[in-house]
Chain A
Amino acid sequence: MSKKSIIEIKNLTHFYGQKKIYDNLNLSIQEGCVFGILGKNGVGKSTLINILMGYLQPKNGQCLIFGEDSHNLSYTSKKDIALLHEGFVAYDFMTISQYEDFFAPFYVNWNKKVFYDLVDLMGLDYSQKLSTLSFGQKSQVVLGAIFAQDAKLLILDDYSMGLDAGYRRLFINYLKNYIKEKSKTVIITSHTMNDLDGLLDEFLIVQKGAIAHHDTMENFNLDKSSTFEDKFLDFVGLY
């Protein structure tokens, strides 16, 4: 039985001034798929997320999430999308418990335990302000709020930004366990590839002004001559 399409991108074209970011992009992301949007910094990964989340109106084309235009998502659809903003943006003036208190009422499936499990991994005091946490500690609080929503679709924009290898590993392991138990669709953007091998089902490599490669991990890994990271670098180039 074919899986339901969660995201449909049709003929998407977007540019900033003369600089073309996407040209007639067509893409379909199926339910339960862990989809990677990969590429170096500044090639337009976050632009695609901004378009998908309705922050940005594309110049041409259409993006559908749960069958709704991404620029006009209903509250029901928004409840089913957990979004990690690039740079782990959060309300730094809040304490950890205030942060949890703020988001909880918006999501019917909110799982307080999931939030505090992640916070407890850091051994943090709940009355600590986010502004006083290290970037790695703060990332766990933000991710806690993402996972606690129990959303059908997780959009994780540049999860690795600012995180050291330890925190990245911690996050990926948690994510793997999380999606193993529940059937979640995940879109993840990143400029580093090392951690994503074994997580992604499908990916898109984005280069300046074009899509360099769209493939499944299964197919991509048929070639055993080099590592995932090396093959990625072959597509995007070192500089």
Chain B
Amino acid sequence: MINSILSKEWIKLKNYIYSVLVIVFGVLMYFSYILGFEYGNIEPESMMWYMFVHLEHKPYEMFFYLFLVFASFISIVQFVYERIRNRIKILRHLPMSYDKIIWIHLAVGLFFVTIFWILSLVFVILIFAYYYPFPLIWMVVEDFCVYLFVSWLLYLTVSFLIIEANIIKKVSKSSLLIALIIVVVRPDFSKDFTGYYIFYSPVLKEFIYQKNYGEHQFDYKSKSNQTYTQKEYESNLPFVYWKNLQIQGKLPITIDNTVFDVSDIKDARLSFEYKPEFLETEPMKLYPFFNPKSTEGMIKFPEEALFFGYKKLELYDFDNKLLSEQTVEINSLANSAWVSFPIQKVFGKPTNMKPFDLGYLFLDNENKLFHIKKEDDITTIKAVMLPKDVNVAYIHISENKLKKTAGYMIDDKSRFYIMDWDFGFRILDIQGFDYQSMKAQLLSNSMYYTFRYNDSHIYNAVVFDKEFNFIDDISLEYK
């Protein structure tokens, strides 16, 4: 009886399956063409690797939508034939368990979805491996596994929508499956909303803030509860709204007997941002390995990519893929610095859109911090001294023209450290910051550092002088 059902399904579906196979091969050819086109128009080719890992530029993403269409299509052609006036009649009358009959049909559908998936995956990997370094293939497999799972869920959803005559069962089963799809795909429905924009006024010597009611409705107040108009508010923040002052001809400005002109204000401006999302590590630790030249002003995007592998460091370029000789050399440096594998976390800015390159910091298997950098063709790997009893949670490197601070570090106790240009760490006196749940921002201007942090309900700010001495703080509840 099972064979009878399988045979029926094959007779029913075979022409559709052949058509889908033709489409799969058509899409594979298009995928191959588009990848060749993209690589032919980018220099160096390793930028595609960077885009793949760090910007989630997935050239095979079309297969996800293709599988979703196939899954729905197979379900429709399978079960629409079985429906007579909103009911599955012939199958229901067969002398066999109806549930068993339905699950055999579903198994057939899932089997074909999986066959398309396997075929597509094999050919995508073959094409992909020609363009991308070997370690990235695992990302393809991982992504395709998600595609398959979601396709299965969608197939079942569409099938139950067609099969179930009982509206309650129809809605409950499909809702459950759709909820599962949402859990797997994790679409981002969150809105980035800031309730308070808090600044420290160098004119008033107190915190002033803009309360955001949404829909462009704002309120301007100070810590001492003084209310301001928008114009007054902006004029009390000359380091924030300096452009207005410049247009109004009010620059340079004198504060506390010090004169600040446009360039003073612009040069002192710096901002570091932190979000809990930053804790999510890159899916694959492959980074462009910059090699700035001391005789050239601009940092070129490198041909070489550095992979922090499970047992060693690996270097790749497009023409040779794995650079065996250079890989041996760089691992020799890692061994000399007593790096232990696998590498836990890598921090750095994998872009050449920056004035300097500080390389990368990484935590090894023993949570020791190392600095790796290449400059003028010379690679260095050095251990970085961390403050005593500090376990790094996150490091943000920011190459900036001030060259005073190189970013920040947060430890596992939510303590916030400013990182000097030579990787020294200075702790900031901040109370109540929780790196797992709060967003933060460090703003620098000509006179102060302001650290703002919030959990979307309580908005806090602490202001420091240029030597990081505490001046004042504020805490506002958003209602």
B55 CB within 8 Å of chain A: no
| A105–B90 touching, CB < 8 Å | no
Interface string of A72-97 (1 = CB under 8 A from B): 00011011010101010111011000
Alpha-carbon separation in the docked complex, A103 to B96 (Å): 12
Given contacts A55-B89, A85-B89, A98-B11, contact A91 B95 (CB under 8 A): no
Alpha-carbon separation in the docked complex, A138 to B369 (Å): 79
Name the one of A55, A87, A93, A106 contacting B4, with C-beta atoms under 8 angstroms: A106
Name the one of B7, B96, B97 contacting A101, with C-beta atoms under 8 angstroms: B7
B336 CB within 8 Å of chain A: no
Q: Which residue of A lies closest to B13 (CB)?
A: A93
Given contacts A101-B4, A102-B4, A102-B7, contact A85 B84 (CB under 8 A): yes
Cβ of A53: which chain B residues have Cβ within 8 Å of it? Answer: 89, 92-93
A136 CB within 8 Å of chain B: no
| A78–B4 touching, CB < 8 Å | no
Given contacts A55-B89, A98-B11, contact A105 B4 (CB under 8 A): yes
Cβ of A126: which chain B residues have Cβ within 8 Å of it? Answer: none
| A85–B81 touching, CB < 8 Å | no
Alpha-carbon separation in the docked complex, A98 to B90 (Å): 15
| A105–B3 touching, CB < 8 Å | yes
| B92–A54 touching, CB < 8 Å | yes
Q: Tell me the smallest distance from the CB of B112 to a CB of chain A, in Å.
A: 16
B87 CB within 8 Å of chain A: yes
Q: Which residue of A lies closest to B14 (CB)?
A: A93
Cβ of A94: which chain B residues have Cβ within 8 Å of it? Answer: 8, 11
Which chain B residues in 61-94 approach chain A with CB under 8 Å?
A: 81, 84, 87, 89-90, 92-94
A135 CB within 8 Å of chain B: no
Q: Tell me the smallest distance from the CB of B149 to a CB of chain A, in Å.
A: 30
Cβ of A15: which chain B residues have Cβ within 8 Å of it? Answer: none
Q: Tell me the smallest distance from the CB of A175 to a CB of chain B, in Å.
A: 20
A228 CB within 8 Å of chain B: no
Alpha-carbon separation in the docked complex, A109 to B92 (Å): 20
Alpha-carbon separation in the docked complex, A53 to B96 (Å): 14
Cβ of B93: which chain A residues have Cβ within 8 Å of it? Answer: 53, 78, 81, 83
- B interface, how many residues as a size bin? 10 to 19
Cβ of A93: which chain B residues have Cβ within 8 Å of it? Answer: 11-12, 81
Cβ of B84: which chain A residues have Cβ within 8 Å of it? Answer: 85, 87, 89
Given contacts A75-B97, A78-B95, contact A102 B8 (CB under 8 A): yes
| A55–B92 touching, CB < 8 Å | yes
B204 CB within 8 Å of chain A: no
B1 CB within 8 Å of chain A: yes
| B95–A106 touching, CB < 8 Å | yes
Cβ of A87: which chain B residues have Cβ within 8 Å of it? Answer: 84
- Interface size counted on chain A using CB atoms at 8 A: 25
Name the one of A55, A90, A98, A103 contacting B87, with C-beta atoms under 8 angstroms: A55
Cβ of B3: which chain A residues have Cβ within 8 Å of it? Answer: 105
Alpha-carbon separation in the docked complex, A136 to B140 (Å): 55
Given contacts A94-B11, A101-B7, A105-B1, contact A89 B95 (CB under 8 A): no
Cβ of A104: which chain B residues have Cβ within 8 Å of it? Answer: 4
Q: Which residue of A lies closest to B96 (CB)?
A: A75
Given contacts A98-B11, A102-B7, A105-B4, contact A91 B90 (CB under 8 A): yes
Interface string of B1-35 (1 = CB under 8 A from A): 10110011001100000000000000000000000
| A107–B11 touching, CB < 8 Å | no
Alpha-carbon separation in the docked complex, A93 to B90 (Å): 14
Cβ of A54: which chain B residues have Cβ within 8 Å of it? Answer: 92
Cβ of A91: which chain B residues have Cβ within 8 Å of it? Answer: 8, 12, 81, 90
Alpha-carbon separation in the docked complex, A117 to B87 (Å): 31
Alpha-carbon separation in the docked complex, A105 to B5 (Å): 10
Alpha-carbon separation in the docked complex, A54 to B11 (Å): 28
Alpha-carbon separation in the docked complex, A105 to B93 (Å): 14
Alpha-carbon separation in the docked complex, A165 to B31 (Å): 60
Interface string of B165-190 (1 = CB under 8 A from A): 10000000000000000000000000
B3, B8, B12, B87 pick with most chain A CB within 10 angstroms: B8
Cβ of A101: which chain B residues have Cβ within 8 Å of it? Answer: 4, 7
Cβ of B1: which chain A residues have Cβ within 8 Å of it? Answer: 105-106
| A106–B89 touching, CB < 8 Å | no
Cβ of B8: which chain A residues have Cβ within 8 Å of it? Answer: 91, 94, 98, 102
Alpha-carbon separation in the docked complex, A78 to B3 (Å): 20
Alpha-carbon separation in the docked complex, A199 to B84 (Å): 29
Q: Which residue of A lies closest to B2 (CB)?
A: A105
| A107–B95 touching, CB < 8 Å | yes
| A89–B87 touching, CB < 8 Å | no
Cβ of B92: which chain A residues have Cβ within 8 Å of it? Answer: 53-55
Alpha-carbon separation in the docked complex, A93 to B9 (Å): 10
Cβ of A83: which chain B residues have Cβ within 8 Å of it? Answer: 93
Q: Which residue of B lies closest to A94 (CB)?
A: B11
Alpha-carbon separation in the docked complex, A53 to B91 (Å): 12
| B96–A106 touching, CB < 8 Å | yes
Cβ of A78: which chain B residues have Cβ within 8 Å of it? Answer: 93-95
Alpha-carbon separation in the docked complex, A186 to B81 (Å): 28
Cβ of B7: which chain A residues have Cβ within 8 Å of it? Answer: 98, 101-102
Q: Which residue of B lies closest to A78 (CB)?
A: B95
B87, B89, B97, B165 pick with most chain A CB within 10 angstroms: B89
Cβ of B94: which chain A residues have Cβ within 8 Å of it? Answer: 78, 106
A residues apposed to B, CB below 8 Å: 50, 53-55, 75-76, 78-79, 81, 83, 85, 87, 89-91, 93-94, 98, 101-107
Give 17 A-B contacts (CB < 8 Å), ordered by A residue.
Answer: A78-B93, A81-B93, A83-B93, A85-B84, A89-B84, A90-B90, A91-B8, A94-B11, A98-B11, A101-B4, A102-B4, A102-B7, A102-B8, A104-B4, A105-B1, A105-B4, A106-B1
B residues apposed to A, CB below 8 Å: 1, 3-4, 7-8, 11-12, 81, 84, 87, 89-90, 92-97, 165
Closest 5 CB pairs of A and B: A78-B95, A79-B95, A75-B95, A105-B4, A105-B1
Given contact pairs A55-B92, A104-B4, enumerate 18 new A-B contacts (beta carbons under 8 Å). Answer: A50-B87, A53-B89, A55-B87, A55-B89, A55-B165, A76-B95, A81-B93, A83-B93, A85-B89, A91-B90, A93-B11, A102-B8, A103-B4, A105-B1, A105-B3, A105-B4, A106-B94, A107-B95
